[in-house]
Structure 1
């Protein structure tokens, strides 16, 4: 796991070596295990690691490459989180998976499963794109892996699908009567 040493030491990534030393001494005294009031061995160890990395020009240069990568990951995460189209697309994929499994269960109640590759093909999504959705639907109890390893909709999943379908019908009826 990446640790942001700049955030840990509460300094700018542009901080010079004098600033790093001054802040390090302050935190080292504060979190030293011998300090009865604010001692914290774990935090002290992290501060030592941060100091040893940032005071050495070669280690700092290597760390700064990782730091920039970390910032890019955070930026991408923030961008995706603010993009409501992604969440809307997720809802559509989850509804499609539930619908596929619903129809399969209804067509053959004794053989209700759909395998991984068939689910990929029917959903029009590669496995790596389905993993999140399958995890979510399983965690909600709406789908499950059955004895033969295939996915099948559960009773809770059928109830969920029926509720959503009823809501859609009601919405369409209200739209047409206005």
Structure 2
């Protein structure tokens, strides 16, 4: 996991070596384990690691490459979080997985499971993205792993599909009568 040393030391990535030393001394005095009031060995260790990395020009240059990659990753997360189409697409994929598992259970109640690869193919969602949806659906209790490792819809999942179907049908009827 990436640790932002600039944020830890509360300095700019453009800070010069004098600023790094001054801020380090300030935090070192505050968090040193010998300080009876504010000492914190773990925090002091983190501050020391940040200082040792940023004071060395070669280590800092290597760290700055990781830092820029981290900033790019944060920007991508921010962009994706502000794009509501992704959330809508997620709901569609989750509903599709539930529907597939619902139909499979209805067709063969004794062998209701669908494997990971088949779910990937049938849902049109790549495995690395499908993992999130399977995690969510499992955590909600709507799907579960069978004894042979496949996924199957649970009773709660069937109830969820039925409630969504009834809600959609009611909306369709209301819209049909409005016209």
- The TM tier, using the shorter chain, reads over 0.9
What number of residue pairs does the alignment pair up? 178
Q: CA deviation at 1:73?
A: 0.8
The residue that corresponds to 1:133 in the other structure is: 133
Please, what TM-score do these two structures have when normalized by structure 2?
0.96
Cα RMSD (Å): 1.0
The residue that corresponds to 2:109 in the other structure is: 109
Equivalent runs, 1:57-76 vs 2, <5 Å:
57-76=57-76
Structure 1 counterpart SS, 2:80: helix
Q: Distance between the aligned counterparts of 2:113 and 2:79, measured in 1? A: 37
The residue that corresponds to 1:17 in the other structure is: 17
2:160 counterpart of 1:146: no
Q: CA deviation at 1:122?
A: 1.4
Q: Distance between the aligned counterparts of 1:5 and 1:135, measured in 2? A: 32
2:176 counterpart of 1:176: yes
* 1:52-90 Cα distance to aligned partner (Å, 9 max, x none): 111111111111001001111111111111111011000
2:59 counterpart of 1:26: no
Q: CA deviation at 1:177?
A: 2.2
Structure 1 segments (4+ residues) deviating >6 Å: none
Residue range with higher mean Cα deviation, 118-127 or 93-102: 118-127
Q: Distance between the aligned counterparts of 1:139 and 1:157, measured in 2? A: 11
5+ residue gaps in structure 2?
none
5+ residue gaps in structure 1?
none
Q: CA deviation at 1:150?
A: 1.4
